[in-house]
Amino acid sequence: MTNHYDSIFRPGLFAGKIALITGGGTGIGRCIAHELAHLGATVVLAARREEPLIATCAEITADGGKADWRALNIRDEENVDSVIADIVAAHGRIDFLVNNAGGQFVCEAEGIRPKGWRAVIDTNLNGTFWVTQAVFNRSMAKTGGAIVSIVAEMWNGFPGLSHTGAARAAVVNLTQSLGIEWASRGVRVNAVAPGGILSSGLANYPEPVQEMAAQWMKMNPSARLGTEAEVSAATVFLLTPAAAYITGATIRVDGGSSLAKQPTWPLDPHDKLPPFQGFHRLDGAPDAFKG
């Protein structure tokens, strides 16, 4: 293991920049924070739990980077605005925002209770919007900047996680809208959609879910899980000047899983959706397709 982050981007690329990463104390957010700090940015980590933030800040400073942290509940718009105002007061501005905070639980749609649905939507959609809006109003409307939201590979639906699929899809559309609205203010807004990523966040799911995910996550053209560093590299690219002509876009970091056809949810044989055959001159199907 090297004693510094092994980024493909040049050292000092983000010297003098201020980057806010929500959910920056663990998993993918922690990895992004390390890479941005390695590239010279002062990173501000924000999340509800203080312990991971303190630990990750200590790691970054031990590696020679600059890091700060704030406790933040992204579901509370008043708390969000207050914390963002405090960060801007302390650091002068926010150049980069990475919306990484989020959460969900596995449950079939018919079993999701209203409280659970609202919690996931509040976190993954509303929370992303509150932070993004506050960062724009408090800083980027005047200074410009770049925003990247971490969403998910939900392009073919998200059975078992319909609440977060709906929220993440909404963030993709929000990204497109803001990419248009805020372009004239010098703000680019993009997203990264990870597929199956080997991350500490997987430990939050029950063991049977982990075992199932370990199998279907590898059923993609790359035949493996992705790494946190691969998600981070895509995120960092969207923050660089090389992405100056990219806004309103979502980069898929999924090993091609969004192109694959294997089901990610058990499909039992049934005859509950009979076909409609209204064509009176329908030709017969080849024998291989009969039955």
pLDDT (tens, 9 = 90+) of the chain, 291 residues, equals: 456 899 999 999 999 999 999 999 999 999 999 999 999 999 999 999 999 999 999 999 999 999 999 999 999 999 999 999 999 999 999 999 999 999 887 788 899 899 998 999 999 999 999 999 999 999 999 999 999 999 999 898 888 888 999 999 999 999 999 999 999 999 999 999 999 888 777 677 677 767 776 776 677 888 888 889 999 999 999 999 999 999 999 999 998 989 987 777 777 787 786 765 665 555 665 665 555
CATH match of 18-289 with 1.10.150.170? no
pTM across the whole model: 0.90
Phi, psi of 150 (to 5 degrees): -90, 120
CA–CA separation, 177 vs 172, rounded Å? 9
> Residue 4's pLDDT is what?
86
For 163-185, write each residue's pLDDT tens digit: 999 999 999 999 999 999 999 99
Nearest of 264, 273, 246, 284 to residue 148 by alpha carbon: 246
Backbone conformation region of residue 186, classed left if phi is above 0, alpha if psi is from -120 to 50, else beta = left
